[in-house]
Amino acid sequence: MHYYSTNNRGHHATLKEAVTRGQAPDKGLYMPERIPVLADTFYSNLKGLPFEEVAFKVAWALFRDDMELRDLKAIIDDSLNFPIPLVEVEEDIYSLELFHGPTLAFKDVGARFMARLLGHFLKNEDKEVTVLVATSGDTGSAVAHGFLNVPGIRVVILYPSGKVSPLQEKQLTTLGQNITALEVDGTFDDCQALVKLAFSDEQLNKRVNLTSANSINIARLIPQSFYYHYAWSQLPTGKDDKVVVCVPSGNFGNISAGLIAKRMGLPIHRFVAATNANDVVPQYLQTGAYLPRPSIATCSNAMDVGNPSNFARMMDLYGNSHDALANDLVGYAISDTDTKAAIKEIQQRTGYLTDPHGAVGYLALKHYLQLDKATGIFLETAHPAKFIEVVEEATSNKVEVPEALASLQHKPKLAHKIAADLEALKAFL
């Protein structure tokens, strides 16, 4: 299968080219030239299968023209070897727990898959590739751990100074080896803009082989579609007829993957985009006007994005039609005050502890279900301990810190400070 640019459908690339480039030469994002539609029997046969098998079946439908079966199976088995349970929180509302991977965040799925896929494509090539990535928190740690010690690859992570949680910062600044963290004097939007400028700088790209591990890279995006199929397959019989999935959303890669899964035939009635104060997409869905703006700092910092990259993919998927997109996707913005109150209320009433992003997803889902009765799933995208300050303040209770995080607290921070300036980034690279 070939992949085209959202800026020019006439530009085509192979899977290998799309993965190793990250972004198309015309600054567009890669999309598959066709999305296979799977039969109803495909979905009925998913019930009861483990995550790795569900992921492989979906991946094979997408990548069968580009890879040997055994190679794809090996990548799936090595990268997606942790549980993703669907947990009932209350009647007709379920949490898809995506925080059981190595860095306790949903981005382990895409980052680990991409690392192994890129390693597969580069294994016989005598060149070093630099993975350049911007993070608002969880992407950086997932990419760092996913690519740690992968031969022929160095990773450079840009993160906004003072705008990620302390434990998130430890996860991406304590590894060393082939992982370098750059602490940028600016916002996540500044970091993301620097990455995009670096990819479009011809002089830099002649000297450094750059690729991206943000959700702009199709290899990060596609594997996220796997767990939507798996979530549906875990629903009890009778609860899977009318399903609404609510996705905490920042850069909108996660929900783009869900919309691709729906296009493949996954029986999801509708998606709900849940944002914090950075609500440019909910505003677009309501008004038809897309007005990106500088990001606002919130307690759900992984969603602090004022100009989401994957908006271009969503529009491409729906033929640039506002009405078509709004038919499948609704959006709600949740305030910090309501987020913190929800963390406390959900725990007190149900015993379930959410992180700030999961709480945003839960509240938006509840808003939707007041208007349309359905089975609801919200994505719990990170372990509550990754946002321990917010969660403990909201609940007035201590949060147990998993050993994977506790072991980082006394490790030295390894980061280089740079200005939010392309020349500073180029000088470093």
The answer to whether 250 touches 331, Cβ cutoff 8 Å, is no
The answer to whether 256 touches 328, Cβ cutoff 8 Å, is no
The contacts of residue 337 (CB under 8 Å, 6+ apart) are none
Catalytic residue among 27, 107, 262, 373: 107
The contacts of residue 202 (CB under 8 Å, 6+ apart) are none
What are the φ and ψ backbone dihedral angles of 264, each rounded to 5 degrees? -70, -15
Question: Is 73 among the residues known to form the active site?
Answer: no
- For the record, the structure tokens of 166 come out as 């302390």
The contacts of residue 335 (CB under 8 Å, 6+ apart) are 276, 277
Query: How many CB atoms lie under 10 A from the CB of residue 421?
Result: 15
User: What secondary structure letter does DSSP report for 400?
Assistant: P
Q: What is the CA radius of gyration of the chain?
A: 20
Give the integer Cα–Cα distance in Å for 260 and 353. Answer: 29
The answer to whether 138 touches 386, Cβ cutoff 8 Å, is yes
Residues involved in catalysis: 107
